[in-house]
Structure 1
Amino acid sequence: MEVEAASGGTGEIRWSKLGTSLPVANVQALVASAGELTADQIERYVQPDIDAHAVLSEQSGEVPVIDLSNLLSSESVDAEVAKLRFACAEWGFFQVVNHGIPDDVITGIKHDIQKFFQLPLEVKNAYAQRPGDLQGYGQAFVVSDDQKLDWSDLLALFAQPTQGRDMSYWPSQPHTFRNSVEDYSMELMKLAQTLNVFIAKTLDVAPELLADKHVAQFLRMSYYPPCTSMPEKVLGFSPHSDGSFLTILLEINSVQGLQIRRSGAWIPVKPRHDALLVNVGDLLEILSNGKYKSIEHRVTINAHKERLSISAFHVPNYGGIISPILGTIEEKMLYKAVGVEEYARLYFANKLEGKKALDYAKLSGI
């Protein structure tokens, strides 16, 4: 499938204009050129609160696993829906196996993301973020010149709907990159649609109520270089919840680094080669009236190995409204209705800081 190299249209391209990030040094290039980094070079990346909560490594890998084939089977659907309800309510994360995305699509996107980040810096910089745009090659959530920085580089692309794409940000190297992203993006849209049907079932609401909650898709391809100097003091991504409805993550090279916050501690998530990792976003927490929680997560850094991943953030219509769905008349409403655009602007206007953005949607007294 050929992807046109034209500039995107208007309309949904506004999604990428909801924020911006200040330009900062390229971490991959810093690591490659500096050898053993000095304290001065790494100072802006050192996170003083990194050890504020314990890491429970012995609980690694306990994230619930949902088998999509069981959801699609009349004989096993009820039991699997119960598991999905538990995963969303108690963990906010789950791994999806038998997700139906063809192996060649997964292999293609993994190969091309690795190849892109291996390109010379001057080639990658041809797709650098521009002022006032979230897309492109660079970093994210850098809003001041003195904040601590994450130990990572990224490439962000608006992928769906197709009329919202700005192809000037889509790399032409490697030559298969655009087609790989197109194929993977389309498969994820189908998966998100299927998951939304069953999430609606877990909430005992009509699927139509969730049908428009995944119409836009933003992709973030992340590269986390190793840090030999003091890996225990830097983070690839600071603690945060996602401002999406649903996020779907693919580990590119199975290097562990993702940690989720549960019961006041960090739990490492062990990469699973046959699964995609899905997590509840802030907008689903609002819609479920807090029954499902968007969970804080962060990315730690390996001392010797690079880590790569691709996250797909699925969000509702730009002009939509997210309102809590109440299960009973007596149920207390915990969140106000919020505009998707206004929440996105708030989310992207600040540095990552846990679940602070969600405070905006909470009703007073909560």
Structure 2
Amino acid sequence: MEMEAPRSSEARWSRVASSLPVRNVQDLAACSEGLTEEKLKRYIRLDIQDDDDVVAEQSGEVPMIDLGKLFNPDFAEYESARLRSACEDWGFFQLVNHGVPDDIIASIRGDIEKFFQLPLEVKSTYAQLPGDLQGYGQSFVVSERQTLDWSDMFVIIAQPSQARDMRYWPVQPHTFRKSIEDYSSELMKTAHSIVTAIAKTLNIDLELMVDKYVCQYLRMNYYPPCMTMAKKVLGFSPHSDGSFLTFLLEVNSVQGLQIKRHNAWIPVKPNPNALLVNVGDFLEIMSNGKYKSIEHRVTINTNQERLTLSAFHVPSLDGVVSPVPGIAEERPRYKTVGVEEYSKLYMSNKLDGKRALDHAKSL
């Protein structure tokens, strides 16, 4: 490979936990002999058999926020109020006019599709190494007995640049590295703008947030179709994000994401012109629960694959996160947490709703 693994402190992000190796799901889904219940027994979920808790789409849609209006004096007050409401009530919003150029979006989308079309033996050259969360494989597999998610993923640390491990950066397709670099750099600018706007909505000094989103890791998600048992498996188990903010790019606009709202699962319609942004656990802690890190999951399509790119913006691993005094009138709902300690707790367990965040709550 081109270079040895980086030794910067932020490179430790890739080693906060590890995941057990399991069979490639894309390869399993392509099996010509058919997917029987016996072959899928590690993926079948007993908790989603009925879908009675999924509400109709017309019951509400994720709010849309215009980044340009947030910084336009003629619209800033109104749009900031909408951003505040979205973070408080939904924990998610569709961000339009986000500033990432269309050609960069098109390039990263195309290269992700091409990467997952490569033969398994090519993709496997970027497989996760023992003790490392980066690479091609899965995450959150901590037991030989747990129910598995119907998905494959490819994870790399993109920011800061000194934390990159180029062993995991694909050379196929040949434009992929440039696409990742361009998208990552532009998204950092967008993240700065959104964090600036969020600081204003919370009426806190932006300096309190400058180290809360400096690390960025990218997770490319591949959800194969499951023609026979799509209703019995999940692409991603219910969870909240162990990030400060997460930006999701829908690569091919196949629906599957659902968010939990008023104890029901609401499908999220992909918007090809938007980035879907959600509040992470660290922002919920910092806002003392005012802004909500919402539980979400991914369902599987019967005959269409789904591809997405998640960009998790997280604090410096050496830092701490605590509720900012004065955001809420009541006492702090959360303890001060070390970023590394919380991240190890989050990443070393199977996904289970907001269980990790419960550990950060004050007694």
User: In structure 2, what is the equivalent of residue 216 of structure 1?
Assistant: 215
User: In structure 2, what is the equivalent of residue 31 of structure 1?
Assistant: 29
User: In structure 1, what is the equivalent of residue 141 of structure 2?
Assistant: 142
Q: Distance in 2 between matches of 1:337 and 1:203?
A: 19
Secondary structure in 1 aligned to 2:47? coil
Residue 60 of structure 1: CA displacement? 6.7
Secondary structure in 2 aligned to 1:83? helix
Q: Distance in 1 between matches of 2:327 and 2:66?
A: 30
User: In structure 1, what is the equivalent of residue 12 of structure 2?
Assistant: 14
Deviations 1:283-335 (A, max 9, x none): 00000000011000000000000000000000011100101012269531100
Residue 57 of structure 1: CA displacement? 2.7
Secondary structure in 1 aligned to 2:38? helix
Greater than 3 Å deviation, 4+ residue runs: 4-8
Deviations 1:114-144 (A, max 9, x none): 0000000000000001110000000110000
Contact preservation (8 Å) 1:61, 1:269: no
- State the TM-score, normalized to the length of structure 2: 0.97
> How do 1:69-108 residues align onto structure 2 when only pairs under 5 Å count?
69-108=68-107
> How do 1:86-165 residues align onto structure 2 when only pairs under 5 Å count?
86-165=85-164
Structure 1 window deviating more from structure 2 (307-316 vs 61-70): it is 61-70
Secondary structure in 2 aligned to 1:180? helix
Contact preservation (8 Å) 1:226, 1:306: yes
Q: Distance in 1 between matches of 2:17 and 2:350?
A: 11
User: In structure 2, what is the equivalent of residue 207 of structure 1?
Assistant: 206
- State the TM-score, normalized to the length of structure 1: 0.96
Contact preservation (8 Å) 1:59, 1:267: no
Q: Distance in 1 between matches of 2:328 and 2:113?
A: 51
Deviations 1:84-143 (A, max 9, x none): 000000000001000011011000000000000000000000000111000000011000
Unaligned residue ranges in structure 2 (runs of 5+) = none
Unaligned residue ranges in structure 1 (runs of 5+) = none
Structure 1 window deviating more from structure 2 (321-330 vs 40-49): it is 321-330
Percent of aligned pairs sharing the same letter: 63
Closer/same/farther in 2, CA of residues 96 and 329 from structure 1, 3 Å limit: closer
Closer/same/farther in 2, CA of residues 60 and 227 from structure 1, 3 Å limit: farther
Secondary structure in 2 aligned to 1:94? strand
Residue 355 of structure 1: CA displacement? 0.2
Q: Distance in 1 between matches of 2:264 and 2:192?
A: 32
Secondary structure in 1 aligned to 2:289? coil
User: In structure 2, what is the equivalent of residue 287 of structure 1?
Assistant: 286
Structure 1 window deviating more from structure 2 (268-277 vs 25-34): it is 25-34
User: In structure 1, what is the equivalent of residue 47 of structure 2?
Assistant: 49
* Partner amino acid, structure 2, of 1:40: E
Contact preservation (8 Å) 2:288, 2:327: no
Residue 229 of structure 1: CA displacement? 1.2
Deviations 1:220-260 (A, max 9, x none): 00000000111001000000000000000000000000000
* Partner amino acid, structure 2, of 1:156: V
The count of corresponding residues between Structure 1 and Structure 2 is: 361
Q: Distance in 2 between matches of 1:328 and 1:181?
A: 36
Closer/same/farther in 2, CA of residues 277 and 5 from structure 1, 3 Å limit: farther
Residue 175 of structure 1: CA displacement? 0.4
Secondary structure in 2 aligned to 1:137? strand
Closer/same/farther in 2, CA of residues 330 and 97 from structure 1, 3 Å limit: closer
User: In structure 2, what is the equivalent of residue 174 of structure 1?
Assistant: 173
Q: Distance in 1 between matches of 2:75 and 2:199?
A: 17
